[in-house]
Every structure is written in C-alpha cells, then in structure tokens.
Structure 1
Amino acid sequence: MMIVNLRAFLFLLLLVISSSIYAQLPPVFKGRDTAGISRDPRTRMYLSPTRILWKSDSSGTYVKDAHQLLKPGNGQAELVNKDLVTLKNDGVHQPGILLDFGKEIHGGIQLVTGLMANQKPLKVRIRFGESATEAMSDIDTLSGATNDHAIRDMIVELPWLGGMEFGNTGFRFVRIDLIDPGRELLLKEARAIFVYRDIPYKGSFHSSDERLNEIWATGAYTVHLNMQQYLWDGVKRDRLVWVGDMHPEVMTINSVFGYNEVVPQSLDLIRNVNPLPSWMNGISSYSMWWIRIQRDWFKYQGRRDYLEAQRGYLVDLLGHLISKINGNQEALDGNRFLDWPSSENKAAIHAGLQAMMIMTLQDGAELCRVLGEEKTAVRCDQAISRLKKHVPEIGDSKQAAALMAMAGLIPAKKANEYLKIGGTKNFSTFYGYYMLQAKAKAGDYQGAIDNIKEYWGGMLDLGATTFWEDFDLDWTKNAGRIDELVPAGKIDVHACYGAYCYKNLRHSLAHGWASGPTAWLTEHVLGIQVLEPGSKVIQVRPHLGDLTFAQGTFPTPHGLVTVKHTRLADGEIKTEIDAPEGVRIVR
C-alpha cells in the first residue's frame, strides 16, 4: 500500500513540475512536450573588471584607453562610438590586456564592440585564469595549463557593432589579445558573466579573530561556487560529482545554506550511474562516503521521504560492503583511495579503509533502524564488532591517524600527538577537515584553531579568494601572490607546485573539498552539534580557545538558531541562544 501511495505521490509531483515549466513557456511553445525542457536553477550577473593588471603596450599606440573597461556597462552596442578601448594590431605588435575581476567566479565573458571601419568579423584570443599567471599562459607540456573539463583558452570571432558571450569555467582573470594582423578592435565593454545559485547565506560566523572570520567566509563561498547544476569539485577542473569529495561540501552546505536541492540531486545522480556492484567513481571509499553523507544529510535536514527513496540501494550497498570483510579486516577492491597525498601509502590506506568501514557501517545501521531494516542493522553491528578487533598501524599518515581516532580504533589523544608533529606539515585540503575533527575529539580545540589560521590562512596570504585543491605551507616561502604577475626572484606558486592530477597550472584554485574549516568552526567554536534528525535537538557547547567572543547563526528546517558566546573577565563563557519553535536546545 505504501509503495502504491509513493508512486501516486511521485506522479502528482511530476505533474506539478511539468505544469510549472509549461506555465513559464512563451505562448509560441505552449504545444510542446515539456519532457525535453528543464529550468536552469542558476542566475547570471554581469561584473565589470576591478583593474587592468597588464597591457602589452603603455604608449597608447596599440592599447589605448583601457581604463574605459572599468566603467559600469549595459551590454548594449551603440552607434555613438564613445569611450571605447582601442586595440591595434599592425602585424608586428599583437595587443593584449589582462583584466582582474577581483574575486574568483564561475561563468564567462561578455564582449561588446563598437562601430569599426572594417565590418568583417575579427579574431581575438581569450584566456581565463584562476591566477594571473594562468591567464597569461600557453597550453603546453611545461606549465600544465589545459583546456580539460572547460575551454579556458580559445580563439573566437567578434562581430562589427555587436555583443558576444564566451566561456564556461572558473576564473578571476581574463586576458584578451587581438590576433588578426592589420586590424583594429574597438571594445566598449568586457564584463564577466557570473553564473551561480542565488541563495541566501543563512549560516554565519563572526569572532574576535578576523582571520578566522575570513576563512569561514572563504570556505562558504568556495562551496557556493561549486553548487552549479550539480555539486562539483571545482569550477575550472573536476567539474564532476565526486561523491567522497562531497562530504566536506555537504557539511558546509548544512552549516551555511541549509537544505538545497543540489545535494540530493547529486547523490541520486552518482547512485544511478553506478549500479551495484560497481563502486561510486570506481572508488570503494567513495561508496562509503555516499552512506556517510546520507546519514549526515538526514540528521541535519530530516527528509524522511528522501531517505525512504534510498532504502533498496542502501541495504544492498551495506550488504556489498560487509561481503568485503575478510576475517576482522577490510578487503575492499576497486580503487583503494583516501586522498591524493596518501595514495601511495598502502599501510595508511588499509588503516583508513578499516576505520571508514566501521564508521560507514555505524551510519548504515543508524539509517536502517530509522527505516525499520533491523536485519541489516544487526548485520552491520556484527561486522563492526569484528572490524574493531583489528587495529592497523597508522602508516606514518595523518590521514589514517585522523580516521582511526574518529572511528575509535585508537584513542583520540594518541592520534592528536601524531597530528601535532610538524604543525600542519602533511595536512591536505580534503582530509584536513578530518584531522581537525580528530583534534576536536581529543579536546585540542586551540590546536585546531591554530592549524586553521596557519594552513588555510596561508592560501589567503597568497591572494586566494577561494580554497585550493591542494596546499603545502612550504609553498609560501619566497612565493609571489596569485593575484599579481610574479616578480623576478619570486616563486610562481600556481605554475611551479602541485602533484598527481593537479600539477602546475592544472591545479584547481577553487575546490569545494577544502571548505572543512567552515563546517568545523560552526560545529566546534560556535559549538553547534545536531543530536536528532531534522535538527530537532541541538547541543550548544562552545570552545572559544583564545577568542574573546564568537557569534553566528545556524540554519535548521525550522528556522535559524542564533548563538553568541562572550568570554567574561573571570574567564567564564556567557552564552546567549535564540532558537525557533521546533528546536530544543541542550547545553
């Protein structure tokens, strides 16, 4: 009976959606089948550049009046031919300009031309870059610049007296070159097209430390950029649904935006394209992350109907995972992977997967009991008991140490002693979140705060406006900033560093998996811990470390929870909490 009702509900929902789409169509399309029509959930905004970072010519002969591009535009070509930028190619000098839009965005570029003497289309080269260096680079085998996933280096034609739009990538900088010899380009506007989901930042964080405030906001914005049609890894490269990498992103979404359709849509996509017994993205741990995300999503958002729709796949996946246990040890096949920096350390991978299996089966058992799948829950419990009898060596890996502490395989304080070695040395932008979680479990909140300021703050010191795919604090030594043309004698961070699939300029500088501190600061400094599904019961226990105050908001399905923590003269913390009806606060 329940299945019949569910089918009826889904059919009615489809009718409502179809009717909504039909109502939005212009009259000329009213007779069309809506099955092939979908609405883009994103919006577009046009941004003028904030500065001209470079010109090929400063004499005014080949590049004239470039500052006109900094003025607000309207996207409309005009006959008056006033306040235009002139680029002149005499066959010897190829003119070019480098524009800075002030902050990394996702989208493209709009170019509007003037009333040129020659009415034939003319060719320009457009190069997008997450760093100034990348926008100035050539695609070659030396610097790592690529057109993978998105074309960021292209030759296009511009019309006489018209406007065109190009590009679909992540960038902050754009270089434009007139490559047609013997031609003159009159350019009225060069505006960035910012494509994003227009959603409110419901969660917030503000403290006595401005560096922490900026880090929280940067992590939130990094994930926001990657909330496109689906939840991506990066807006320049890895514009894909990598479900393991989604976990820090989803925790950030829970802390900043609350419910958003991009999460279930992405989880469903990866489930549908990876039917069992295949692993999601070909990686066994990523199938485990899918279960862990489902548990956290249900805990924060409480969407029972969505969880119910996962019943069959969830139960079968848990059974598949249990079949990959040999005695007391995980025996997972497929791609055995935690993160890139640990990818060559077999001992660390085994230790991490052993811990992941325990945590995943715990989450799976919890969800199965919500769904009434007691038989599978008991199988998970039994498998966990077996797995806990084998405690692997950590393999000289902070990734493994963090996961083992989180899973209870080793004491958190023991793991933290290892995590402290060298400060943030051997941290990673992805698994750094779990290193911070392990430190919190050990009670080392101040140590975690210091790590956040040093490691993630190190990217900000180099000009980052979003967090990167990978980072090593050693990169900051004698380094130039990514928002400047690197001066002689300084190291070009983007062009020189990186490894594995993210070497040199291929390196993504807006990667959602690096947003962990945003969720962590909400969870542990503001002290907001969700105890019951749907955020119905929330525990508030702040850990300010050396902060004098911290305050913020947290989105729930019932409304915003507001907290403010102030350190008094005697060292005690005064806490003020405002919670909506339907949310019970425990201290």
Structure 2
Amino acid sequence: MKKVFILFMLISLGAELSAQNRVTWIWYPGDFEVWLSNKMQNRRTERGAFFPPFWRMDNHYVLIDFHKVFDVPSEEQVELYVEGQFNVKIDGKGISGYPRTITMPAGKHKLSMKVFCQDRVPAIFVKGKTVVSDSSWLVTYEDKEWIDASGKASDQSGTNWLSAGSWNFDSPSVPPSMFALATAPQSPVKVEKTAGSLLVDFGKETFGFIRLKGLKGNGRVSVYYGESKEEALATETCETLDHLEINAPVKKDSVMNLTKAFRFVNVKYHPDVSIDSVSMLYEYLPVADRGDFRCSDAEINRIYDVSKYTFHLNTREFFIDGIKRDRWIWSGDAYQSYLMNYYLLFDSPSVTRTLLALRGKDPVSSHINTIMDYTFYWFLGISDYYLYTGDKKFIEQFYPRMQSLMEFCLSRRNGDGLMEGLPGDWVFIDWADGLSKQGAVSFEQLLLARSLETMATCSKIVNDQEGATKYEKLASNLKAKIFSTYWNEQKQALVHSLVAGKQTDNVTRYANMFGIFFDYFDEQQKQGVKQHVLLNDKIQKITTPYMRFYELEALCAMGEQKHVLLEMKDYWGGMLKLGATSFWEEYNPSKKGAEHYAMYGRPFGKSLCHAWGASPLYLLGKYYLGVKPLSPGYASYVVEPVLGGLKWMDGKVPTPAGDVKVYCSTKEIRVQGVAGAGVLRIKSKTKPSGDGLEVKPLGNQLYEIGIGQNKAITVRYSAL
C-alpha cells in the first residue's frame, strides 16, 4: 500500500513558533483536527463489522474566509494552491476565474481568499517571494459583511477573526487531505506452517497492515489477529479479522485495507490457494525521543523501555487509548499521554491536535466522550499544556470553547452545587468491581474544582477579569464545600460519595490521592490520607495502570519513591514476567493464564497495549530525575532528584529550550541546565559542595543550589 510521508519532527514548541513564517498550508484552527479525527475514529472494526464512536461527531466549517495585509517591496508573482472552490480579492477587488497565479503589486495590500469545500477542510497554500501563507493569516467561518443599496460594503462587521491553523504541510503538492502516517516494512520472527494455515509471530506487539505475498489460486483467505497466540488461534472469538476472496491465476501481492494491532497472525486459506509469505507494513508517527532514563536497576530500565514502546504505539494521528480495540480518542487516556509526552517526546502539536479533536464544536450537548470526568480532564490538559509549554496563543484562540464547555458543566450541577450524573452522563472514574457511581461522587467535585482553577488562570491570560473573578470564586466555594461535606475526621479521608445529601461509609482511593497532588489537603490531612488510604490494604485496591498512575504519583508527591519503585517492579514487572512486550489496559496478579486476556465479558476483550500503561515515563522523569516546571514554559524550573533506593540514575527531560540532563548517585549530582531559571533541591546528610556553588540551607537537611542558564553544575553530597 502506497503511503504518503509528509511529517517531519518539530522538536520543541520554540521550533514550532519560529516556523510561523514558513510557507505552509493553512485552515480554520481546529478544523483539520476535527476532520482527521472523524476519519481515524471511524476505522474501528470488530470481527469485520463497522464500530463507530458513542458520541456526537462534529464537522469542519465548509466555507472559510482567509486574509492578510502585506507590505510588498516590489511587484511579485504569487502561486495559489487551494483545497476547494475559491475566489480571490486584492484590496477588495475580485479577480475573475480560478487563478493559479496572481500579480501582487508593490505597496501595502490586502489579499483575501474565500474557500468552499465539503469533503475536505478548506485550505490554502500561497507562495510568493514575500506573500506566503502561514499562521499569521486571519480566518473566519462567517464574515458578517453586508452591502447597502449603493453597493458600498459595510464599514463594521463584528466578525471574530482567528489566526490560521497549520501543522507541517509545507509542500503545495501534499495538501492536508493527503495526510497519512509513515510506514516501514517488517518481517516476522517465526512462522509455523501447516496444511492451509500459517501462524506468524512478529516477536512483539505491533501495528500496521498485513501484507500477503505471492497469492495464487481461487478461494477464501482469512486473517485472524491476536495480541496473544491464544487470540490468533481463537478464530471464533478473536477481536479482529479480515476475509478476502482470491481469484488469481498468477501470483500477486495483497495488503489489507485497514491497520490492525497484533503480535500473532493466523492466516487460513482454501486448499486451492497458495501464499508465499506474510509480512507487514509497520505504521507510525515519526517523532523522536528526547527524554531518557537509565539507572542501576536492570528491571526498571526494561520497564522504561517497554513503556516507551507502548507510548509510541499509541501516539498516532492523535494520542489514542489502545491500538487493538477502540483506537478512539478518549480524554482520560489522552490526559495521561500529554503528561508522558512532556517527559519523552515534548511534541506539542500532538497535544493540541488531540485537545482540539476532543473538544469539537459548539453547541455543547454532552460531556466529552459522554464521560463527566473526561470533560474535566480536558480542562486539566490545557492547564498542564500551558505550564509545560508557555503557549498563550492556544488559550487565546480557544478560550471561548473553554467557556461554553464550562457553562455546560455548571448547568448540570445538582441543587447543592455538586456534580451528579444526569441521564446521558457516564460517570466512569475507573474499571473497578462494585465501584458505586451513585449520588454526588467526591472525585468528580475535585476534578471540577481544578477545572475552575484552570478557567481562572486562562481568563487572566485573555484579560477576562470578570471571568477570572467568577471562576476563582466558584473554585474557592467548591473546595470549601468538598471538605465540609466529604471529609470524615474519623476515617481521616474524603468519603467516596454523598447520597441523598448524606455521607456514604465507603472510602476509595480516587479523591484522596488526587487531593494530595492537587495540594488541597493540609499537612495533617495528607499524613492521615497517606496512612489510612494510600498505604491501607483494606481500601479497595486499584488494578488498572490508569489509576495506578495517579496512586503512585500521590505517593511520590509524599516522598515515597522507595515504596513506588517496589510497586513499579511488582506491577509493571509482573506483566513483563508474563511475557508482555507492551503494557496492558488492566493487570490483576491473581488471574492465571488466558484469564489475563479477558475483559468486557469477552475472552480477548482486554487491550494488551494501552497508552495509560506507559506511566513510568512520567513518574521516573518527574519524581526520580525530579525535573518540573515552576512557571509556564520552564521560565523557571526545579530539579529534585530522588534515588528511591537506586544506586544511580542518569537521564534527561525535554523542555522548550532544550533538555535538562541529570545524573545522580549517592555521592554526586550533575545537572546540565537550560535557558530558564533553574534550582536544584536535594536532601543531604552533610552540606553539599561544589566549585563556584552557592548552597542555601532550607532546614531539615534540605538544600537549594542555583543552576545558571545553560550551565552545568556538579554537586558533592551525602544521600540520606
């Protein structure tokens, strides 16, 4: 299958922003993302049947107005490439026909184009010497112009113009509608051949198009896919398959139409059919790793490497949940992927593409993915995106969509001002046996409070002071209500829910662990939650990597890196001991054999490659190497390395201005800083020392050392 390779890597937000003036295809911001997500999410099949998403799917605007004012030094010829029907104006005067080249006169002139396209996103590529299309153009989907009886156009229109959207479509011959991921041929590591059957093993979990070479004869060929050998052999219950009818008197090759996830492929064919070989085209998004981690523990290194591979498999057109089953954009899964991305790839376009695809268009008629908590994760994703990248423009462009989504949430509160599931709302939280979703669940209130705080921050960025005041007040009042209604002093925890206005007896981990890293608890409450919830085996345990992500983050935030390291070795190491080559959607050590593959009432329903399984990428970068932004875009940052029982560790964390490199042993720490104002904080039995260093004691054996811009420091210390 011929695939068009059109991607190149933007290694940082700085690279992305510096490329604004390059000539590129442009469109209405967010429209390409919506269009592409519609194509991707409607590729899902189950045993050959089309399986569309559960939620409303929006579309791009079909008629777009583009314009920009240029100061042209001298007359120049300008080439026009357009996706759709279009007209062109210079200084408001129309040019007849569909010109492919126009003459732009010298001086200050306004170039306008209006494009209609139903099946693709209206887009333009304008190429002259100084007149080029880039993200500085202004666009709108309704120009609100009118003409009076004299023929004069209106002087005022009230049109809302936004900066054009773009990505990396920098060739006029490859417009956005031709987007495709890259592919590379791969061969299996083992093939078992019997009469009428080939069982093919590619050695590890993978994703792409199966290619059958040398097909000849007449009859049916069936391809059964399996993340496990058992699934590939289970022709009646495997999740995905392909059938093709062969009528080939001479040998030919065939590539399957749709990508699939698999490690094993079971090819069965009619006695009158022959096949020379089976291979694949591996499909991927070509983004390079910038983060890295190595340490003294070989098992942790293996966990990190498999986490990287898992994450790459689920980093596609967007951050998706898993490569076998859904292949949809789920907001809760994506939120964790954003965080992992900041510590491995730092690919900002993948984050914004995913955020925009999830949000869709107004009016808002349901929660994102129909899930209440997933709507709130969308707001949290924007908060983190701004913290890690410092990208104000994204917030300025899409603040109105944030407002309308938040107003939808606020309209669905109960009489006590709390979020409670209404008809059409899916309160998910986690896959956990017997987990009640009734009443007003404390976990949802914490997510709403943090979302309101995000709205207050973004209101200030766009100079909406009225909005900032409103959201700050709502957040403050809700946080007070959370503690007055859910905190149970005897249990030293937030209870799980209120039903009919009364506390339930149940305590779960969810709200309590989020309260820790949201920093909503005082120190006494944190210690109470730590002992009575997080380290209490009587509280229902978490079995999904999804929520283990947050549970281990809360423990790391409480300084429990030694405990978390053992948990990673037990939980993720447990999957590796069972032969996992990528990390799973759910892992329960008490299950045996093929029980591990079952989920959703189906023997092979579980995803064995799920994005949320890659969370060690984030935990090891943020809480062991200890690199965290303190202000947007790493203008200031902290490095707080914690060995957590390791003898040494060595790694790097990407930022917009380069990579922060950290080496830490029990006696020495080396840090290579970046352009921001960095600070190293370490605990040491003795006062740290180093050439030219100013060491500031903070008390309780904690010390702080400044990291000069783009400077390297070496510190001698004695680990506790």
Q: Normalization by structure 1: what TM-score?
A: 0.78
Matched, 1:508 2:622: no
Matched, 1:173 2:267: no
1:66-113 deviation digits (Å, cap 9, x = unpaired): xxxxxxxxxxxxxxxxxxxxxxxxxxxxx3121111121111211111
Alignment check: 8 A CA contact 2:217 2:274 kept: no
Partner residue, 1:493: 595
Instruction: Measure the CA separation in 2 of the matches of 1:546 and 1:48.
Output: 40
Partner residue, 1:51: 190
Instruction: Measure the CA separation in 2 of the matches of 1:566 and 1:452.
Output: 20
Matched, 1:422 2:537: yes
Matched, 1:111 2:209: no
Structure 1 residues 323 and 375 mapped into 2: Cα distance closer, same or farther (>3 Å)?
farther
Partner residue, 1:399: 510
What is the SS of the residue equivalent to 1:46?
strand
Instruction: Measure the CA separation in 1 of the matches of 2:275 and 2:553.
Output: 55
1:450-498 deviation digits (Å, cap 9, x = unpaired): 21111122111111111111111212xxx4xxxxxxxxxxx32344x43
Instruction: Measure the CA separation in 2 of the matches of 1:541 and 1:121.
Output: 66
Instruction: Measure the CA separation in 1 of the matches of 2:164 and 2:449.
Output: 39
Structure 1 residues 262 and 322 mapped into 2: Cα distance closer, same or farther (>3 Å)?
same
Matched, 1:360 2:454: no
Q: Percent identity?
A: 24
Amino acid at match of 1:146: E
Q: CA deviation at 1:200?
A: 0.9
Instruction: Measure the CA separation in 1 of the matches of 2:603 and 2:458.
Output: 42
Matched, 1:218 2:357: no
Q: CA deviation at 1:348?
A: 9.4
Partner residue, 2:568: 452
What is the SS of the residue equivalent to 2:210?
strand
Alignment check: 8 A CA contact 1:322 1:380 kept: no
Match of 2:675 among 565, 581, 584: 581
Match of 2:234 among 137, 160, 164: 137
Structure 1 residues 289 and 202 mapped into 2: Cα distance closer, same or farther (>3 Å)?
same
Structure 1 residues 373 and 110 mapped into 2: Cα distance closer, same or farther (>3 Å)?
same
Partner residue, 2:475: 384
Q: CA deviation at 1:4?
A: 8.8
Structure 1 residues 583 and 214 mapped into 2: Cα distance closer, same or farther (>3 Å)?
farther
Structure 1 residues 275 and 435 mapped into 2: Cα distance closer, same or farther (>3 Å)?
farther
Q: CA deviation at 1:373?
A: 2.4
Q: CA deviation at 1:519?
A: 0.5
Instruction: Measure the CA separation in 2 of the matches of 1:286 and 1:384.
Output: 18
Alignment of 1:52-71 (within 5 A): 52=191, 54-56=192-194, 62=195
Instruction: Measure the CA separation in 2 of the matches of 1:18 and 1:563.
Output: 32
Structure 1 residues 426 and 244 mapped into 2: Cα distance closer, same or farther (>3 Å)?
closer
Q: CA deviation at 1:55?
A: 4.1
Q: CA deviation at 1:185?
A: 1.4
Could you say which structure has the larger radius of gyration? 2
Partner residue, 1:482: none
1:101-146 deviation digits (Å, cap 9, x = unpaired): 11211112111117xxxx6444322111111111111234xxxx33
Partner residue, 2:198: 97
Instruction: Measure the CA separation in 1 of the matches of 2:168 and 2:552.
Output: 45
Instruction: Measure the CA separation in 1 of the matches of 2:193 and 2:437.
Output: 50
Instruction: Measure the CA separation in 2 of the matches of 1:323 and 1:185.
Output: 63
Alignment check: 8 A CA contact 1:126 1:174 kept: yes
Q: CA deviation at 1:16?
A: 8.2
Alignment of 1:275-294 (within 5 A): 275-294=363-382
Structure 1 residues 252 and 10 mapped into 2: Cα distance closer, same or farther (>3 Å)?
farther
Alignment check: 8 A CA contact 2:421 2:439 kept: no
Matched, 1:235 2:323: yes
Alignment check: 8 A CA contact 2:659 2:674 kept: yes
Match of 2:179 among 36, 39, 42: 39
Alignment check: 8 A CA contact 1:207 1:549 kept: yes
Q: CA deviation at 1:535?
A: 2.1
Instruction: Measure the CA separation in 2 of the matches of 1:346 and 1:48.
Output: 47
Partner residue, 1:263: 351
What is the SS of the residue equivalent to 1:388?
helix
Structure 1 residues 49 and 443 mapped into 2: Cα distance closer, same or farther (>3 Å)?
same
Q: CA deviation at 1:272?
A: 1.2
Alignment check: 8 A CA contact 1:368 1:374 kept: yes
Amino acid at match of 1:256: L
Alignment check: 8 A CA contact 1:274 1:280 kept: no
Structure 1 residues 7 and 555 mapped into 2: Cα distance closer, same or farther (>3 Å)?
closer
Structure 1 residues 347 and 415 mapped into 2: Cα distance closer, same or farther (>3 Å)?
farther
RMSD between superposed Cα atoms in Å: 2.9
Alignment check: 8 A CA contact 2:396 2:461 kept: no
Q: Normalization by structure 2: what TM-score?
A: 0.65
Partner residue, 1:123: 220
Amino acid at match of 2:594: D
Match of 1:434 among 543, 550, 553: 550
1:39-66 deviation digits (Å, cap 9, x = unpaired): 22x21111111123x444xxxxx4xxxx
Structure 1 residues 399 and 306 mapped into 2: Cα distance closer, same or farther (>3 Å)?
same
Alignment check: 8 A CA contact 2:296 2:649 kept: yes
Instruction: Measure the CA separation in 1 of the matches of 2:473 and 2:479.
Output: 10
Match of 2:170 among 17, 20, 45: 20
Matched, 1:146 2:248: no
Report which of the two has the higher share of strand: 2
Alignment check: 8 A CA contact 2:543 2:586 kept: no
Alignment of 1:277-316 (within 5 A): 277-316=365-404
Alignment check: 8 A CA contact 2:627 2:637 kept: yes
Q: CA deviation at 1:586?
A: 4.6
Matched, 1:531 2:643: no
Corresponding pairs, count: 499
Partner residue, 1:412: 526
What is the SS of the residue equivalent to 1:492?
helix
Instruction: Measure the CA separation in 1 of the matches of 2:627 and 2:409.
Output: 32
Partner residue, 1:78: none
Partner residue, 1:76: none
Alignment check: 8 A CA contact 1:219 1:514 kept: yes
Partner residue, 2:84: none
Q: CA deviation at 1:576?
A: 0.8
What is the SS of the residue equivalent to 2:268?
strand
Structure 1 residues 233 and 375 mapped into 2: Cα distance closer, same or farther (>3 Å)?
same
Q: CA deviation at 1:517?
A: 2.0
Match of 1:161 among 242, 248, 251: 251
Amino acid at match of 1:38: M
Matched, 1:192 2:280: yes
1:293-323 deviation digits (Å, cap 9, x = unpaired): 0111121122222221111111233344344
Match of 1:560 among 648, 651, 659: 659
Alignment check: 8 A CA contact 2:637 2:676 kept: no
1:504-540 deviation digits (Å, cap 9, x = unpaired): 3011111112222211111001111111111222210
Instruction: Measure the CA separation in 2 of the matches of 1:136 and 1:273.
Output: 43
Instruction: Measure the CA separation in 1 of the matches of 2:679 and 2:636.
Output: 6
Partner residue, 2:137: 9
Match of 2:617 among 518, 523, 538: 518
Matched, 1:351 2:479: no
What is the SS of the residue equivalent to 2:651?
strand
Q: CA deviation at 1:349?
A: 7.0
Which piece of structure 1 moves more, 399-408 or 431-440?
A: 399-408
Higher normalized contact order (CA 8 Å, seq sep 6+, divided by chain length): 1
Structure 1 residues 509 and 186 mapped into 2: Cα distance closer, same or farther (>3 Å)?
closer
Instruction: Measure the CA separation in 2 of the matches of 1:45 and 1:508.
Output: 24
Instruction: Measure the CA separation in 1 of the matches of 2:234 and 2:528.
Output: 46
Partner residue, 1:468: 584
Unpaired stretches in structure 2, ≥5 consecutive residues: 1-65, 69-133, 140-161, 487-494, 497-505, 682-720
What is the SS of the residue equivalent to 1:432?
helix
Alignment check: 8 A CA contact 2:562 2:645 kept: yes
Instruction: Measure the CA separation in 2 of the matches of 1:194 and 1:359.
Output: 40
What is the SS of the residue equivalent to 2:259?
strand
